[in-house]
């Protein structure tokens, strides 16, 4: 069992994290904290394997806690879950060894993929390993993604190929409205395909927050998507 600690200052969001964790086999919640100080104490608990860490913790910065954890050589892994979509936060997280970076809001499928990917990392690093296992760990996007023969209801290979090719033609981030216009497909149908692509990690998603209105979700083809276009 992999024990996860949640460091998040919004109780409602923390509760959602817990509910997501409970839905995935092999994981359980080992506690939660709302501040850097409480989080540091929680990180030192011997039963904590993984931390879900927010960057914005009231008037504190979760990245400071990440740096402290690494400076103290605490043997715990970290996934950043945050609305911080600036380049510096991403670079800091990467440099200090986070295993994933989830931007709010995110889907359960993306959350599940992150945890299952971590579970695979734990499995690979136990005992002696072979080069193929090492390659799966350090070069995951170079590995082929297996697209099932029986696609989910309402998903066709032809439309998958069409949408992904449209995204390939546009290097920049595209909103759902932009993609719907370029691909000439309805928003309702497009949403189903975007969820499927996210689940298979064929696309990347970026969320842009404005001072007013709803956050803008943008998409572009991932490297894994480019590598696996031929499957469609």
Where in the chain are the domains? 2-124, 157-231
Q: Return the residue matching tokens 């960057």.
A: 55
Instruction: Tell me the CATH architecture of domain 157-231.
Output: Orthogonal Bundle (1.10)
Note the pLDDT of residue 145.
67
Note the pLDDT of residue 161.
92
> Tens-of-pLDDT digits for all 232 residues of the chain?
999 999 999 999 999 999 999 999 999 999 999 999 999 999 999 999 999 999 999 889 999 999 999 999 999 999 999 888 888 988 999 999 999 999 988 888 889 988 988 887 776 566 666 665 666 666 665 556 667 778 888 899 999 999 999 999 987 899 999 999 999 999 999 999 999 998 888 898 888 877 777 788 899 988 788 878 888 8
Query: In Å, what is the CA distance from 129 to each residue of 2, 82, 121, 125, 132?
Result: 20, 33, 11, 7, 8
CB-CB contact of 218 with 167 (8 Å): no
Q: In whole angstroms, give the CA distance from residue 142 to residue 145.
A: 9
Mapped to the 3 state alphabet, what secondary structure does the chain carry? Answer: CEEEEEECCCHHHHHHHHHHHHCCCCEEEEEEECCHHHHHHHHCCCCCCEEEECCEECCEEHHHHHHHHHHCCCCCEEEEEECCCCHHHHHHHHHCCCCEEEECCCCHHHHHHHHHHHHHHHHHCCCCCCHHHHHHHHCHHHCCCCCCCCCCCCCCHHHHHHHHHHHHHCCCCEEHHHHHHHHCCCHHHHHHHHHHHHHCCCEEEEEECCCCCCCEEEEEECHHHHHCHHHC
Half-sphere exposure of 141 (CA within 13 A, CB side): 11
CATH class of 2-124: alpha beta
Note the pLDDT of residue 138.
66
**Number of other CB atoms surrounding residue 88 within 10 Å:** 9
59, 84, 4, 69: CA torsion to nearest 10: -60
Note the pLDDT of residue 230.
80
Note the pLDDT of residue 231.
80
């Amino acid at each position: 069992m992999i024990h996860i600690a949640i460091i998040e200052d919004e109780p409602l969001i923390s509760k959602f994290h817990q509910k997501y964790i409970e839905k995935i086999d092999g994981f359980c919640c080992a506690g939660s904290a709302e501040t850097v100080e409480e989080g540091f104490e929680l990180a030192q608990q011997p039963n904590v394997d993984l931390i879900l860490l927010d960057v914005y913790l009231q008037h504190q910065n979760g990245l400071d806690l990440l740096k402290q954890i690494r400076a103290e050589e605490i043997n715990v892994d970290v996934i950043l879950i945050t609305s911080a979509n600036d380049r510096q936060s991403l670079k800091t997280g990467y440099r200090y060894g986070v295993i994933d970076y989830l931007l709010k809001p995110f889907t359960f499928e993306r959350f599940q993929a992150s945890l299952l990917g971590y579970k695979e990392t734990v499995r690979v690093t136990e005992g002696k390993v072979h080069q193929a296992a090492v390659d799966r760990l350090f070069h995951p996007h170079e590995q082929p993604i297996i697209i099932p023969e029986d696609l989910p209801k309402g998903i066709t290979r032809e439309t998958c190929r069409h949408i992904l090719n449209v995204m390939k033609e546009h290097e920049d981030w595209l909103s759902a409205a932009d993609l719907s216009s370029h691909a000439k497909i309805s928003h309702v149908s497009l949403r189903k395909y975007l969820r499927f692509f996210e689940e298979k990690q064929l696309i990347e998603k970026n969320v842009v927050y404005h001072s007013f209105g709803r956050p803008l979700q943008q998409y572009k083809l991932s490297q894994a998507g480019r590598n696996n276009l031929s499957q469609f």
